[in-house]
């Protein structure tokens, strides 16, 4: 394959422009056709027959010893004969880059059968006897194939192929071929291509099949014949307008596809399919179909696996392909196809965009996820042509900025921030590989409910979320809350491998939710007005929480009061702005405050009372329901008052009520009005309760003996 520099040198802008499509990119087929065209130009060059060659099929044996075996035949006389010159009837040589066009190999990917071209690829390390059989079959099997003989009949030089078939009927000739192959190989096994060399003029040279038009046309016809007979069709073809070129042509209906789309067994693409009439539903011309098939190398290079699916992220430039855009696209595809690293196409495009100053508004991605099943069935979902680099890139930057500078995740002076942070959790610290995390789906793997990838299906919300981010589509906030809560509950179960409340997980989920709701992206949506505030971007400032040293503390006041007030007011889902008693936002705030009190008192029990079982354990997330929340609040406040009295005795007078900054607000939201008539969904209630627990466990001055937030939350590192 040509390097990008060699590609540009090989094809001037004028030459390349003649090869490019005339119309703008408007479909997956257009992208595949463009990929196939660039791949063909970079491997086998231009020309009518170049798209039919398959240079990659035998690419691993290029420049290896004994990798090309040719039966040499002289058809220049009255009767075809084997060569009797100094080289003899069989030549064993090296298959080199310069011979790719001349040898003209066209692979037929079937377990049994002959390749489309007269050149045939043998299995790895075949013994001499097997290679001799393949060599003879160039005359006895390929030259007598029905499609080949029909092509020979219609071609002016088809007599050459007919002479091969005639020579193959002579047993003595076949024995000579076998003896020559075995002798030349010296008993050694090898991996090779088997082909022929033909002399057509008395004083002419022996030519390779790629230099003889009759062989190339027979190869072409044989490959085309497979495009109309797949899935037991007799002849799925007809005259129609090609969906790629827009020109009238003979179109085929059962051609192969790099992504396994539009197959006979893929009924969602062909509802009510009549296999013989498939060309009417999806008409693609013969030559365009072959070019599309050649896109496979580049398509696969822009593919990666995650959550049991294959994710396709195919870059292209918006509008009609121009030579300059084609050069840049080829660089991206070449890098993806030759890079041995683990970068995704998104990361490669990002680096290339920075280096080459590519206009980001022109760079697009076709994005889809494909779920393979048995019996060659595939589910395609999340498909879009409008994927853009800005979505995963901006999400990665937004998340890093949030945990780096937002007051919700950064402390002021000697007080902890609202949310705990640690370098041990990727979503709670700035990460240079965040773009990789987003584009591979690891970003959601860390926060969504865990599943066995072997049992993944098209409804997997992790896949849905990944494709949405790559394509700029929105994610339902209901999906996020359901996944978050289930993951929290799973990690709090008795048989969980994790110990303690998963506060780092909850903080990670909250950071992700805030990032997705960023105003530039707006990746979170809902049809429920009650949940609409959750989809809004928080207004946390950069390290601008109040200066607690300047706050007057009187009548039991606590520096944490201003911190809590600021966090609530800057979190739209909890804010009282425009709110009134009884609304879902008020109920959500009540769940959060209850969790904050449970977390605060639970931490006190663990570190001051040395209790192994605390309120956090007593009231796990899965136990919180609308019907129970009032009872939990009453018991937690009662426990708070008990510890307040103890503190007063121990300290000879305790200023106010313990955690009064939480208790006072909690009374206003949970105890009055009654929760029995609340309308908040259970997942909504539980997630913000869990967020409150995380807040409460992290609500303390740094010098209170629990300065290490990893120690205050005995949660397994992620």
Q: What's the pLDDT tens digit per position in 317-326?
A: 988 999 999 9
| Spatial distance between the Cα atoms of 50 and 438, rounded to a whole number of angstroms | 39
pLDDT digits (tens, 9 = 90+) for 301-314: 998 888 888 888 99
Q: What is the pLDDT of residues 202-238, one digit of tens each?
A: 999 999 999 999 999 999 999 888 777 665 666 667 7
Secondary structure element (H or E) that encloses residue 524, with its range: strand 524-525
**β-bridge partners, 51:** none
- The alpha carbon of 488 is separated from its chain's Cα centroid by a whole number of angstroms, namely 26
Read out DSSP for 318-374?
A: SSS--HHHHHHHHHHHHHHHH--S---HHHHHHHHHHHHT--TTTEEEEEEEEEE-S
Instruction: Give me the pLDDT at residue 718, please.
Output: 45
Query: Encoding tokens for residue 688?
Result: 């913000």
The position carrying tokens 């939480």 is: 662
pLDDT in tens, 48-58: 888 899 888 89
Comparing 15 with 711, the larger pLDDT belongs to: 15
Angle 210-214-218 from CA coordinates, rounded to 5°: 90
β-strand partners of 372: 378
Average pLDDT, the chain: 85
Looking from the CA of 256 toward its CB, the CA atoms found within 13 Å total: 14
What pLDDT is recorded for position 709? 42
- The pLDDT of residue 554 is 38
Angle at the Cα of 515 (from 509 to 518), degrees rounded to 5? 145
Helix ranges, 11-124 (H): 13-19, 28-43, 100-103
Which positions ≥6 away from 400 have C-beta within 8 Å? 430, 431, 434
Give the pLDDT confidence score for residue 269 in this predicted structure. Answer: 55
* 535/348: higher pLDDT: 535
Phi, psi torsion values for 696, nearest 5 degrees: -65, -40
Least confident window among 180-189, 207-216, 241-250, 322-331: 241-250
Kindly state the tokens that stand for 202: 């008395």
- Give CA–CA dist 289/263, Å, rounded: 13
For residues 470 and 476, is the Cβ–Cβ distance under 8 A? no
Express each pLDDT in 352-396 by its tens digit: 777 766 776 788 899 888 877 665 567 777 788 888 888 999 999
| Residues 358, 328 contacting (CB under 8 angstroms) | yes
Q: Residue 88's pLDDT is what?
A: 93
User: If we measure between CA atoms, which residue out of 551, 550, 591, 601 comes closest to residue 568?
Assistant: 591
Q: How far apart are CA 632 and CA 681, in angstroms?
A: 18
Does the pLDDT of residue 279 top 70, yes or no?
A: no
Of 242-246, 662-666, 693-697, which range is least confident? 242-246
φ, ψ dihedrals at 376, nearest 5°: 60, 35
Q: Which helix (H) or strand (E) is 197 found in, with range?
A: strand 193-199
pLDDT at 651 over 70: no
Tokens of 531: 């949940």
The pLDDT value recorded for residue 546 is 47
Q: What angle do CA 537, 543, 548 make, to 5 degrees?
A: 120
Q: Rounded to the nearest 10 degrees, what angle do helices 286-293 and 28-43 cross at? A: 70
User: What pLDDT was estimated at residue 323?
Assistant: 94
Distant-in-sequence, close-in-space partners of 597: CB < 8 Å, separation ≥ 6: 633, 636, 637, 640, 659, 662, 663, 666, 692, 696
pLDDT at position 79: 92
Detail the DSSP E strand segments found in 226-344.
Answer: 237-241, 248-252, 284-285, 303-306, 309-317
Provide the pLDDT for residue 232: 62
Q: Compute the average pLDDT of residues 542-569.
A: 62
d(CA 56, CA 180): 28
* Percent of the chain topping pLDDT 70: 85
Q: What is the pLDDT of residue 277?
A: 67
pLDDT in tens, 469-501: 988 889 999 999 999 999 999 998 866 666 789
Q: Which residue in the block uniquely carries the two structure tokens 């067994």?
A: 265
For residue 227, the SS3 value is coil
Give the mean pLDDT of 659-666.
Answer: 86
On the CB side of 420, how many CA atoms lie within 13 Å of its CA? 31
673 upstream amide cis, omega within 30 of 0: yes
Residues across the chain: 718
Please tell me the predicted confidence (pLDDT) of residue 256. 73
Distances (CA, A) of 415 to 406, 508, 689, 705: 15, 20, 22, 12
Least confident segment among 141-145, 455-459, 660-664, 684-688: 455-459
Token pair, residue 112, equals: 């049994």
Q: What is the pLDDT of residues 590-623, one digit of tens each?
A: 999 999 999 999 988 888 877 878 899 999 999 9
Is the pLDDT confidence value at 39 over 80? yes
pLDDT score, position 341: 53
Give residue 563's pLDDT: 87
Question: Among candidates 194, 198, 209, 180, which has minimal Cα distance to 67?
Answer: 194
Structure confidence by residue, pLDDT tens digits, 127-177: 999 999 999 999 999 999 999 999 999 999 999 999 999 999 999 999 999
pTM, full prediction: 0.81
| Residue carrying structure tokens 């990798």 | 67
Give me 19's structure tokens.
């090869």
């Amino acid at each position: 394959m040509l390097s990008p520099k060699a590609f540009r040198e090989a094809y001037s802008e004028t030459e390349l422009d003649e090869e490019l499509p005339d119309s703008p990119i408007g479909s997956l087929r257009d992208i595949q056709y463009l990929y196939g065209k660039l791949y063909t130009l970079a491997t086998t060059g231009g020309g009518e027959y170049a798209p039919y060659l398959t240079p990659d099929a035998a690419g691993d044996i290029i420049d290896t010893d004994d990798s090309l075996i040719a039966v040499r035949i002289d058809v220049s006389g009255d009767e075809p004969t084997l060569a009797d010159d100094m080289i003899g009837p069989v030549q064993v040589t090296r298959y080199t880059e310069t011979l790719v066009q001349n040898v003209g190999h066209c692979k037929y990917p079937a377990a049994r059968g002959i390749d489309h071209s007269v050149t045939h690829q043998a299995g790895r390390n075949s013994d001499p006897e097997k290679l001799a059989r393949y060599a003879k079959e160039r005359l006895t099997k390929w030259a007598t194939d029905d499609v080949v003989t029909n092509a020979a009949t219609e071609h002016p030089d088809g007599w050459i192929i007919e002479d091969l078939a005639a020579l193959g009927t002579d047993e003595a000739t076949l024995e000579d071929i076998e003896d020559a192959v075995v002798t030349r190989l010296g008993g050694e096994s090898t991996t090779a291509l088997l082909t022929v060399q033909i002399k057509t003029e008395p004083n002419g040279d022996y030519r390779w099949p790629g230099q003889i038009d009759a062989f190339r046309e027979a190869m072409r016809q044989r490959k085309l014949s497979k495009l109309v007979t797949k899935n037991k069709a007799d002849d799925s073809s007809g005259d129609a307008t090609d969906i790629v070129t827009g020109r009238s042509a003979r179109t085929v209906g059962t051609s192969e596809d790099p992504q396994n789309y539009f197959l006979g067994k893929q009924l969602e693409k062909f509802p009510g399919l009549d296999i013989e009439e498939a060309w009417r539903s999806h008409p693609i011309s013969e030559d365009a179909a072959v070019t599309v098939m050649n896109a496979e190398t580049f398509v696969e290079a822009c593919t990666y696996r995650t959550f049991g699916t294959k994710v396709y992220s195919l870059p292209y430039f918006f509008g009609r392909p121009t030579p300059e855009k084609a050069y840049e696209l080829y660089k991206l595809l070449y890098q993806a196809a030759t890079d041995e690293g683990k970068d995704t196409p998104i990361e490669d495009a990002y680096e290339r965009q920075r280096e080459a100053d590519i206009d980001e508004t022109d760079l697009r991605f076709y994005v889809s996820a494909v779920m393979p099943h048995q019996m060659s069935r595939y589910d395609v979902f999340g498909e879009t042509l409008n994927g853009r680099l800005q979505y995963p890139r901006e999400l990665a930057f937004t998340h890093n900025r949030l945990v780096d500078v937002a007051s919700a995740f950064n402390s002021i002076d000697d007080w902890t921030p609202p949310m705990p942070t640690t370098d041990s959790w990727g979503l709670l610290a700035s990460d240079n590989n965040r773009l990789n995390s987003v584009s591979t789906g690891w970003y959601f793997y860390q926060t969504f409910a865990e599943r066995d990838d072997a049992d993944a299906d098209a409804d997997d919300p992790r896949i849905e979320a990944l494709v949405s981010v790559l394509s700029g589509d929105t994610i339902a906030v209901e999906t996020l809350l359901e996944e978050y809560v289930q993951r929290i509950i799973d990690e709090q179960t008795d048989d969980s491998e994790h110990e303690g409340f998963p506060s780092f997980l909850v903080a990670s989920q909250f950071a992700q939710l805030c990032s997705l709701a960023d105003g530039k992206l707006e990746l979170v949506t809902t049809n429920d007005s009650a949940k609409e505030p959750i989809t809004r971007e928080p207004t946390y400032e950069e390290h601008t929480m109040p200066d607690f040293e300047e706050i007057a503390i009187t009548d039991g006041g606590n520096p944490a009061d201003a911190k809590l007030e600021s966090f609530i007011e800057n979190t739209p889902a909890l804010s009282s702005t425009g709110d009134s008693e009884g609304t879902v936002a008020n109920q959500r705030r009540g769940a959060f405050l209850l969790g904050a009190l449970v977390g605060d008192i639970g931490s006190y029990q663990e570190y001051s009372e040395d209790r192994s079982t605390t309120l956090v354990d007593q009231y796990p997330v899965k136990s919180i329901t609308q019907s129970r929340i009032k009872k939990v609040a009453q018991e937690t406040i009662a426990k708070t008052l008990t510890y307040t009295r103890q503190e007063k005795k121990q300290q000879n007078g305790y200023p106010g009520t313990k955690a009064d900054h939480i208790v006072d607000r909690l009374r206003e939201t949970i105890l009055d009005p009654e929760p029995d008539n609340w309308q908040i969904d259970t997942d909504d209630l539980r997630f913000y309760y869990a967020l409150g627990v995380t807040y409460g466990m992290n609500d303390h001055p740094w010098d209170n003996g629990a300065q290490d937030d990893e120690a205050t939350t005995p949660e397994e590192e992620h």
